[in-house]
A and B are shown apart, each in its own frame.
Chain A
């Protein structure tokens, strides 16, 4: 293998960044959405008459929490397909 060119270095850094972006970016939404689902289950257990309202609220909260996961996905795909060394 000959020496590494600058373009190769940039491309390699972009791919490493893509993996780290999606990998670490998935931790927060995953835990947060599971937490929201769990709290909704607890609340429905205590107050079953409001099950419909609580499920809807849970889904809205999870959708907001999901947005950061989608940002991570977008950044990862940009790093893979748009950044060229």
Chain B
């Protein structure tokens, strides 16, 4: 075999990054959105009169939960067709890191932000008059649960548009790859955790003897708990940015 050209290696790394981004990124949302649909159908069976309400809640929640795989798709298409990065070896490794970052981040965020949708549908089927409160709680929980994937998207873009560095060696190659791994996997825990918190806040409101009073109190407790759970994703962001700045 002849020696492989650098541009061929860079293209290979770009394609690998594109595959990891959408391949991993679609898993979580795919499972989660399907489960949300299942809970909605169960609710319709229980309360056929409010079918249209449940359908609307399900669709809005599912649309919000498919934001993370959409980010993954954007990064994947950029890596496939964009040629936006350069053709030096470090930009190839950065592209692979970008794919891992958004792939792992979107995997968890898709799963985490689908959890509140499923339980909001169940809760609305039991207490249809509280549907606006459940919808608000669901959307708020989803928004917080998707914060880590926005960090992951930011790191991905920083890696894709990394400037060329002529004297880069093994250390720099590994640093950009490591930044992607750090942010991608670091986003997983907080996304799923915040989704679980939002899901349980909805269950808590349903069990409260006076749900209208419970909404305000439980929203505050949920946001406090989610804020603490987010801190680890911010550590991951900091370490990831330090690794990118080192290059």
Hey, which bits of chain A sit against chain B, CB under 8 A?
A: 1, 4, 8-9, 11-13, 15-16, 18-20, 22-46, 48, 51, 54-55, 58-59, 62-63, 66, 69-70, 72-73, 76-77, 80, 85
Q: How far is the CA of A35 from the CA of B229 in the complex (A)?
A: 9
| A30 touching B239, Cβ below 8 Å | no
Chain B: CB-nearest residue to A45 = B204
Hey, which bits of chain B sit against chain A, CB under 8 A?
A: 169-171, 173-175, 177-201, 203-210, 213-214, 217-218, 221-222, 224-226, 228-229, 231-233, 235-236, 238-240, 242-243, 246
List, in ascending order, chain A residues with CB within 8 A of B169's CB: 1, 4, 8
Closest 6 CB pairs of A and B: A34-B193, A37-B225, A30-B189, A38-B200, A45-B204, A19-B178
List, in ascending order, chain B residues with CB within 8 A of A26's CB: 185-190, 232-233, 235-236
| A19 touching B181, Cβ below 8 Å | yes
A4-B170, A8-B171, A9-B170 given; A34·B240 CB < 8 A? no
Chain B min CB distance to A32 (Å): 7
What DSSP secondary structure best describes chain A's contact surface? helix
Q: How far is the CA of A33 from the CA of B205 in the complex (A)?
A: 20
Q: How far is the CA of A16 from the CA of B224 in the complex (A)?
A: 33
Chain B min CB distance to A54 (Å): 8
List, in ascending order, chain A residues with CB within 8 A of B224's CB: 37, 55, 58-59
20 additional A-B pairs beyond A30-B191, A38-B225, A70-B235, beta carbons within 8 Å, are A1-B169, A8-B169, A23-B186, A25-B232, A27-B189, A31-B193, A34-B190, A37-B225, A41-B197, A41-B222, A42-B200, A44-B214, A45-B214, A46-B207, A48-B208, A48-B209, A48-B210, A58-B225, A62-B228, A73-B235
A30-B189, A45-B206, A80-B242 given; A23·B170 CB < 8 A? no
Q: How far is the CA of A30 from the CA of B194 in the complex (A)?
A: 8
List, in ascending order, chain A residues with CB within 8 A of B207's CB: 42, 45-46
| A40 touching B221, Cβ below 8 Å | yes
Contact of B193 among A13, A33, A51, A77 (CB under 8 A): A33
Contact of B188 among A11, A27, A37 (CB under 8 A): A27
| A30 touching B232, Cβ below 8 Å | yes
Contact of B217 among A28, A29, A44 (CB under 8 A): A44
